[in-house]
Amino acid sequence: MIRLILLLSGLFPVFFTSNLTAQTTIYVWQNSPAATPNGSSWQMAFPDLQDALTQAQSGDQIWVATGTYQPTDGTERSASFVLKSGVQVYGGFTGTETQLSDRNPTQNPTILSGEIGAAGGADNCWHVVYGKGLSDNTILDGFTIRGGYADISGNNHMQGYGGGMLLLGDPAMPNSSPRIVNCIFTANYARNGAGLAIHWEDADANDGQTMVNPRLENCRFERNRALTNGGGLAKFGPMTPGDTLHIKGCDFLRNRAIQGGGGGMYFEALTDAQVKVNDCLMERDTALEGGVMHYLAGEGSIAGFLFEACKLFQNFSQGYAGLSITSNLETDVKLNLLVNKCNFMTNKSSGAGYACLGFLLGKKANVNITVDGTEFRNNFDIMGFYTGEMSSCIFNFSNDKFINTGESLMYYVIPSHSTLANNFYNCLFVKTRHVIGIGVEPDCEHLTTFTNCTFAEINNTTESIFGKKAYDAPDHLHNRLFIRNCIIQQNDPTASITLNGNTSDRYCGFKIERSILNRYQPFSDPFCYGVPYNPPGNLWSTNVDFIDPANDNYRLDSCSVGIGFGNNDFVTAAGITTDLDGQPRIRFSNVDAGAYERADSCGISVGVKDLSGNNNRLDVQPNPVGEALHLVGLDPGTSGLLQVFNSAGVLELSQAGISATTKIDTGALKPGVYYVIFRSDSGQLRTGRFVRM
């Protein structure tokens, strides 16, 4: 899947606030007719881009007509197109344009090629394009960069980095941030960063670190190969505190890191880093570790990553195939990762890793992961998380879909003296087996909470849906799993829901509250070491009607038992205000169970107004109801007719002479949601509903 890249950058004018100087446009045309070219017009254009770069000064523009350009006519592998700070270089012209907006790089490909000497890559240029210490008004726009071959081992003047393009820091320009727009990096090779390598390069120990932070927009990285890390691009070293590396509207297609990490992107030793990847496509990138991205954190690294509106399709790795983040086991790392409105589809790992998200971190890791509005479909397992001792980790999953996820959706290993808070809100889980597994060592604090989630067509024939193992039973106060306002529908209603690794502490710390399950109630003792794990209020052996499960529509059907079944306190405490569709989470008196909120209440109003105009709600106790109920809130001496309807609107019970002291027998009612109407002898009308256990 390849998107159309917008290459008409003239439609998007760029404004700069730097000091204005006289701007000169220098023209380059491979087929220039000039006998003595000086670059002053198309008719006098330089046939060689190197001549234009030599002549250009900061503030100038270079317009390059369609054609293929090499850095040298000879065989010098060190030759490159060396960008100048403040110079803007544009490709995609035919050789007649008078306005920048007239060009069309799609129709007029302008190729910068490292193919020199004999055919093939071994003697090609180390870097097709090179830049050092470039300012923020430096632009490279509208080129195809191919055929670079940076194969030298060791640093050795960076001849193993950046086959397509190498950007370096410079003490003279401590914060380098050029713009690379509408460029295609293809068929480049390097030991690191085959398409593009970005390196801070502390060239002089006395100068300290320098920052290189380009802006990448509407670029494509395709079929680049790195021997070690970063098939598409690689970024090494620190960034300006508070600044962000932007990668926007870019495609990473079929790139490969052969022996290392990051088929698409690789980041290493970032400090004070913020990386924002927006509206990008990553497809069929492969690596030993991290098919799409791999981040190797250094000692004391502080990094934040945002992936927004991205598509990650069919990426592959022997480790973690999607986004992989690792560090040395002795490393203190602070990490924030936000994945927002992305789509992961058919990603796979061949080893013990996980297809989409993978974390292997050291001691004292401080991790905050948020995944919101994201769909995971047809991936073989989703996430694995391992960390060292004394770590603090928070995971928040909200409004996410997990569909057909293979064997195990997520697995965590939490070592001694660490804490983990794991929250799932409004999530949909379909056709998976083992949803979550958690291994917790001694002296840990762990709490996983599922609130208003829907689990449908769960295939856990041989495994538990929720698995956790505590290594020092009893550990029920420190290793906890709560399921609240959820719907759990298993293909095999007899299969296990949860299994603790230590059978003597089998269900401790596991609690289901106000949820609906189609399996039978498995617990005979409602307490474990005095802790209630199955309090009253759940519906067991109950099937939930969805609108269209065959087409992945797991919204509640009309008059489903899940309507109004939930506990409002759980969503209020979690700060949940909308459902998986983005609609209000509580539409009537009680929140619905599961990930979606129904827009109607089965055609029977919960608050019918009486003749005086007051909204009169009728409450019953207990609720959920067992064998009997009584009405709450009736005035002393009030009596009248009570009618009970099932969720299909069929009258199940009608009894006159009911008052606040009347005990109403509900033993004949089947489990489900019921609606009640009470009409007093004076004509007052009150309505409500209850759940029959």
The confidence band for 497, taking pLDDT boundaries of 50, 70 and 90, is low
pLDDT of residue 504: 38
Residue range 167-187: mean pLDDT, rounded: 90
The confidence band for 407, taking pLDDT boundaries of 50, 70 and 90, is low
pLDDT of residue 500: 43
The confidence band for 298, taking pLDDT boundaries of 50, 70 and 90, is confident
Digit-coded pLDDT (tens) for 53-106: 999 999 999 999 999 999 999 999 999 999 999 999 999 999 999 999 999 999
- Beta carbons of 254 and 218 less than 8 angstroms apart: no
Most confident of 257-261, 350-354, 596-600: 257-261
Average pLDDT of the chain is 83
- Beta carbons of 539 and 514 less than 8 angstroms apart: no
Query: What is the token pair recorded at 279?
Result: 């509206």
Digit-coded pLDDT (tens) for 7-61: 333 433 443 334 445 689 999 999 999 999 999 999 999 999 999 999 999 999 9
Rounded-to-integer distance, Cα 688 and Cα 146, Å: 70
- Beta carbons of 196 and 165 less than 8 angstroms apart: yes
Digit-coded pLDDT (tens) for 324-354: 887 765 667 888 999 999 999 999 888 666 7
DSSP labels, 400-416: -EEEEEEEEEEEEEE-T
Residue range 618-640: mean pLDDT, rounded: 85
Coil/strand/helix, residue 571: helix
Strand segments, DSSP code E, in 361-452 are 366-372, 375-377, 383-386, 392-398, 401-414, 419-425, 428-440, 445-451
Rounded-to-integer distance, Cα 472 and Cα 475, Å: 6
Higher pLDDT, 482 or 437: 482
Residue range 494-519: mean pLDDT, rounded: 64
pLDDT of residue 132: 93
Residue range 106-121: mean pLDDT, rounded: 93
Rounded-to-integer distance, Cα 146 and Cα 184, Å: 8
Higher pLDDT, 241 or 103: 103
pLDDT of residue 464: 63
Task: Using alpha carbons, select from 148, 151, 159 the residue that is nearest to residue 186.
Answer: 148
DSSP labels, 245-311: EEEES-EEES-EEEEEE-SSEEEES-SSEEEEEES-EEES-EEEE-SSEEEEE-TT-EEEEEEES-E
| C-alpha neighbours within 13 Å on the C-beta side of residue 571 | 28
Q: For residue 574, which phi and psi values (nearest 5 degrees)?
A: -85, -5
pLDDT at 474 over 60: no
pLDDT > 70: what percent of the chain? 81
Residue range 180-204: mean pLDDT, rounded: 89
- Beta carbons of 641 and 662 less than 8 angstroms apart: no
Q: Is 613 exposed, middle or buried (0-12, 13-18, 19+ CB in 10 A)?
A: exposed
Q: Which amino acid is present at 391?
A: S
Prediction pTM value: 0.83
- Beta carbons of 625 and 632 less than 8 angstroms apart: no
Higher pLDDT, 580 or 206: 580
Residue range 662-680: mean pLDDT, rounded: 87
